[in-house]
Amino acid sequence: MTDEQLLRYSRHILLDELGVEAQERLLAGRAMVVGAGGLGSPVALFLGGAGVGEITLVDPDVVDLTNLQRQLAHDMARIGRPKVDSAREAIAALNPGPRVRTLQARADAALLDELLPGCDVVLDCCDNFETRQAINAACVRHGKPLVSGAAIRFDGQLAVYDTRDAASPCYACVFPPDQAFEETRCATLGVFAPLVGIIGSMQAAEALKLLAGVGEVARGRLLMLDARAMEWTALRTPRDPGCSVCGGRH
């Protein structure tokens, strides 16, 4: 590391669990963030600030005035511009070090298959069930850990799905693709602004631990937050041997 990097990341380096070696792993790390909105904003800023070497941002949308209540990577000056470009500028203003690749596109199977081989961790910050399932299936195919977050109204959830571990479920083990599911969006139901910051920050923390090789990540657990009472509930989520996505992997 350069002298400037040693100074910039000094508060990480001071941690016994991290130090210089783990920070160097972050500098060499490659993360893909699908969704540059409410969850993707804190994720992108924390990964960028922490010095993750390469960050790929994927999102089809543009910045809208209604986003600014909670999507803190964007501002008034960037209304109408692609969210991925806005988030890239926000990262660069915080830390010019990371290489940030942007794709204004929906994350379908073909795009994910193209991008995942060059990533070390994937963060699902999207807002629809179909894309979540596509991200999960691609992570299973390519053996990549997936950090999944969701937030609507006052309710949030977080989980790490890592099928490199034989005991770890995939997203489809917990939320089967063929189950009846009523799509809910903040455009119709609303979302408490700090909730996306809480969940997104936790996603960033789990991804950084995975990249740095430190701590215990939330594999096999579904963490659910009721922000009305600020109460957490944790559920154990075993792998489903009959899962249509990962069942034949082990």
- Taking only the tens of pLDDT, the chain with its 250 residues reads 899 999 999 999 999 999 999 999 999 999 999 999 999 999 999 999 999 999 999 999 999 999 999 999 999 999 999 999 999 999 999 999 999 999 999 999 999 999 999 999 999 999 999 999 999 999 999 999 999 999 999 999 999 999 999 899 999 999 999 876 666 666 678 999 999 999 999 999 999 999 999 999 999 999 999 999 999 999 999 999 999 999 876 5
> Distance between CA atoms of 138 and 75, rounded to whole angstroms?
32
Q: Give every CB contact of residue 193 below 8 A, 6+ residues apart in sequence.
A: 69, 70
Q: Evaluate whether 221 touches 234 at the Cβ level (below 8 Å).
A: yes
Q: Give every CB contact of residue 60 below 8 A, 6+ residues apart in sequence.
A: 104, 105, 106
> In the chain, at which residue ranges do the beta strands (DSSP E only) sit?
30-34, 54-58, 99-103, 121-124, 146-152, 155-161, 221-226, 231-236
Q: Evaluate whether 211 touches 26 at the Cβ level (below 8 Å).
A: yes
How are the residues of the chain apportioned to helix, strand and coil, as percentages rounded to the nearest 5?
A: 40, 20, 40
b/e per residue, 58-83, with b = 16+ CB within 10 A?
A: bbbebbeeebeebbbbbeeebeeebb
User: Pairing relation of β-strands 121-124 and 30-34?
Assistant: parallel
Domains of the chain and any CATH numbers? 3-236 (3.40.50.720)
- Predicted TM-score (pTM) above 0.85: yes
Alpha helices in 175-229 (DSSP H): 186-189, 193-212
List phi, psi (to 5°) of 243: -60, 135
> Distance between CA atoms of 141 and 134, rounded to whole angstroms?
11
